[in-house]
Amino acid sequence: MVTKTGTIRVGQFSESPVLAIARELKLDQKYDLEWETERVPSSPSQFESLRQGSIDIAITSPDNVMLYGTNSDNPLQTKLDLRVLRSIDRGLGLALYTSADIASPRDLAGTKIGVDVPNSGFAFLLFAMLSKLGVERAEYELEAIGATPKRLSAMTDGIVSGTVLNAETAVAAENQGLTKWATSKDVSDNYLGTVLVHIAGQESEEVARFVKLWQEATEAILSFSPEKLRGLLAAKNPQLADSQYISLLQSEDYGLLLDPRVSIQQLEILAAIRAEFGAYRPSDKALADLLAM
């Protein structure tokens, strides 16, 4: 339940450009709504926060929603009754990056690769990317690091040789001279990167207004010129005002999705990637239940 009238608590891995623009456009006043954001260190902690009610909505990978919302074989050892509220983006540049000393994908054989947790959506995307590059799952070790900023630090510190990054951490990786080898688009043209999700049965007027606010902010981001977006973000969110990051937001291949609907087909793509690497594949009914409102 929303703890106090008009306030939504959001669990996120990194700063949301949609919420940043919503604030700059004063949509909180228009929709009579306030929100608080909390940085989560990993997907297990994010969904534990949803379960305990310390956050109302999660900004997360739809693969995570499948993992925690369709069976109990997950780090929490329980199935959560989750519902997807809307789509967010196509991954914001989700890509496999390596340290500069990796001259070819084959150099990753025998190294450690950083993941959030071994059975996360980003981990399965990583496996698929490496497989397409000719590096099979048995040829490298995994190191559970946590969220993307931690994985970037682990790579620059030499703890791991590669990882999957996106959004501002992908921009930071490129600015630091790290090498990009593959992207989510190499795996699927219809890759769904991020969604809004909450616990079923906790629908409220505040949540409905939050989803409408999100849509209006998304429409603004996709319609504004890059210069206008940069100006809106620069004062309070300079890390989001980077021109490369803004290009990702507005990209047809990787950026924000205007259509809020999530399709069964998009979830089936992710489920197929899971199955390819021997993980549990949710039934079609279980996938449909995640979208039932």
122-134 per-position pLDDT tens digit: 899 999 999 999 9
Strand partners, 142: 113
Whats the size of the chain, residue-wise? 293
Residue 221 lies in a domain: yes
Same domain for 230 and 272? yes
> What is the per-residue pLDDT for 129?
96
Answer whether residue 5 shows pLDDT above 60: no
Answer whether residue 3 shows pLDDT above 60: no
Cβ atoms within 10 A of the Cβ of 242, count?
A: 17
Q: What is the mean pLDDT of residues 93-110?
A: 95
Last residue of a domain, one of 187, 217, 235: 187
d(CA 88, CA 194): 5
In angstroms and rounded to an integer, the radius of gyration of the C-alpha atoms of the chain is 18
Answer whether residue 4 shows pLDDT above 70: no
Same domain for 180 and 246? no
Nearest to 271 by CA among 124, 93, 136, 114: 124
Same domain for 207 and 232? yes
> What is the per-residue pLDDT for 283?
94
Same domain for 115 and 168? yes
Q: What is the mean pLDDT of residues 72-80?
A: 94
3-class state of residue 196 by DSSP? strand
Same domain for 99 and 238? no
Strands 162-165 and 95-98, sheet pairing: antiparallel
> What is the per-residue pLDDT for 1?
47
**Which CATH number does the domain housing residue 118 bear?**
3.40.190.10
> What is the per-residue pLDDT for 151?
95
Residue 178 is classified by DSSP as P
Q: What is the mean pLDDT of residues 140-157?
A: 94
Residue 1 lies in a domain: no
Last residue of a domain, one of 162, 187, 212: 187
Last residue of a domain, one of 144, 163, 187: 187
Angstrom distances, CA of residue 161 to CA of 96, 139, 186, 196: 11, 13, 21, 31
Residue 2 lies in a domain: no
pTM value is 0.91
Q: Which domain holds residue 144?
A: 95-187
> What is the per-residue pLDDT for 187?
95
The angle formed by the CA atoms of residues 77, 47 and 4, to the nearest 5 degrees, is 135
Residue 56 lies in a domain: yes
Residue 256 lies in a domain: yes
Same domain for 32 and 122? no
Helix, strand, coil in percent for the chain, rounding step 5: 45, 20, 40
> What is the per-residue pLDDT for 63?
93
d(CA 210, CA 83): 15
> What is the per-residue pLDDT for 33?
96
Residue 25 lies in a domain: yes
> What is the per-residue pLDDT for 203?
81
Rank 73-77, 117-121, 191-195, 200-204 by mean pLDDT and report only the highest: 191-195
Q: In the chain, how many domains are there?
A: 2
Same domain for 159 and 275? no
Residue 11 lies in a domain: yes
Nearest to 255 by CA among 246, 263, 264: 246
Answer whether residue 164 shows pLDDT above 90: yes
Q: What is the mean pLDDT of residues 131-142?
A: 96
Same domain for 183 and 127? yes
Q: What is the mean pLDDT of residues 157-183?
A: 95
Residue 209 is classified by DSSP as H
Answer whether residue 41 shows pLDDT above 80: yes
> What is the per-residue pLDDT for 6?
66
Q: What is the mean pLDDT of residues 249-265?
A: 97
Around 227, how many Cα atoms within 13 Å sit in the side-chain half-sphere? 0
Band (pLDDT 50/70/90 cuts) for residue 239 is confident
Q: What is the mean pLDDT of residues 249-261?
A: 97
> What is the per-residue pLDDT for 120?
83
Nearest to 218 by CA among 258, 262, 166, 261: 258
> What is the per-residue pLDDT for 70?
96
Under 8 Å between Cβ of 61 and 12: no
Residue 209 lies in a domain: yes
Same domain for 20 and 41? yes
> What is the per-residue pLDDT for 2?
52
First to last CA, the chain: 17
Same domain for 152 and 23? no
Same domain for 105 and 236? no
Q: What is the mean pLDDT of residues 109-137?
A: 93
> What is the per-residue pLDDT for 60?
95
Under 8 Å between Cβ of 115 and 122: yes
Same domain for 202 and 273? yes
